[in-house]
Amino acid sequence: MITMQVLKAHYLFTEDDAELLASLRPLAAASKEQLADRFYDYLLGIPETAQFIREPATLEKLKQTHQNWFLTLFDGIYDNQYLHNLQKIGSAHVRVGLNAHYVNVGMNIVRQFALNLIQDNFTDLTERKRLREAVEKILDINLDIMTASYREEEMRKVFVSRRLESKLIKAAERFTHGLNLVLVVALVGVSLSVVGLFIWELLHILEGSIERGILSALGTLLILWMMIELMDNEIKNLKGGRFNILVFIGVIIVALIREILISTLRHDALETQVFLAGTLLILGIVYFLVSKSQQASPS
């Protein structure tokens, strides 16, 4: 955490600067009301800042607070307590929702007022230069500390946002992983059912329905083969592999082929068989196009 000593070192603020500022305190005390009036007259002319100070009681309280702060610029004592007080001022600006831009604008008004005081009351060029430099330093330090409150607030929001986002992503990933596990278990169950269906169709062969049994069993074997591919794809997906939509299209195609074989054995109407064949053709085209698309896209 930064200290006042570090800040003063960074801004080359010396004890001589502190003494020069202390010498300006009588002049500052005599001009504080004039500064407060000028400062808030300006802010009242800006709609974005006027909304905070329209009430007369609020305005008078703020003027008094501003005068007190202005005098602290010339106390000659700039320690960590001074730093803490400025941090509270910056935090107050953040709490009321004042944009940091207007803190910079307000500091510019104070800067011009203070420099004009020096210009109007000191004729010696060397002394005037030293006083101006000291005032510039302390105002820059004040602005640095106050605007740091805004930076800290933004960092806090970003930190909370990122932490929440990270937790949500992890929760979503775990939920998705859980659904994939459920899907694998479901695929295992369906595959066992397909094996049962294959055994049942073999029994048809033993019962004498040889042609029907063989074709049905062949269709079921195709479905079982696609189920194996589907499970293999899902397991790869669980391990972080790429999702392959072709496997799902393939399952539908195989199921449709089995239905066509059975439809032929049942001697279904020609319209039904044409419909099934047309659907198979469309799925084949879709499979081909998706396959080409995957080959063209980078892995």
Higher pLDDT pick, 113 / 101: 113
**What confidence score (pLDDT) does residue 37 get?**
92
- Identify whether the C-beta of residue 142 lies closer than 8 Å to the C-beta of residue 73: yes
| CATH code for the structural domain at 4-163 | 1.10.490.10
Angle (CA) 268-274-276 rounded to 5° is 80
Listed residue (139, 148, 151, 152) closest to 11, CA to CA: 139
- 8-state DSSP, 267: T
Q: Poorest-confidence range of 119-123, 196-200, 212-216, 285-289?
A: 212-216
Contacts 24+ apart (CB under 8 A), 47-52: 48/99, 48/102, 49/98, 49/102, 52/96, 52/98
Whether 240 shows a pLDDT value over 60: the answer reads no
Higher pLDDT pick, 40 / 96: 40
Best mean pLDDT range from 102-116, 138-152, 166-180, 194-208: 102-116
Whether 296 shows a pLDDT value over 70: the answer reads no
Q: Poorest-confidence range of 59-73, 104-118, 184-198?
A: 184-198
**What confidence score (pLDDT) does residue 237 get?**
66
State the distance between the two ends of the chain, measured CA to CA, in whole angstroms.
48
What is the pLDDT confidence band of residue 160, given thresholds at 50, 70 and 90? very low
Whether 289 shows a pLDDT value over 70: the answer reads yes
d(CA 159, CA 154): 8
In this predicted model, what pLDDT tens digit does every residue of 62-84 receive, in sequence order?
999 999 999 999 999 999 899 88
- Identify whether the C-beta of residue 4 lies closer than 8 Å to the C-beta of residue 80: yes
Whether 146 shows a pLDDT value over 50: the answer reads yes
> HEC profile for 145-192?
HHHHHHHHHHHHHHHHHHHHHHHHHHHHHHHHHHHHHHHHHHHHHHHH
**What confidence score (pLDDT) does residue 210 get?**
67
**What confidence score (pLDDT) does residue 254 get?**
74
Q: Which amino acid is at 285?
A: I
**What confidence score (pLDDT) does residue 48 get?**
85
Best mean pLDDT range from 3-12, 51-60, 163-172, 246-255: 3-12
Q: What is the residue-averaged pLDDT of the chain?
A: 81
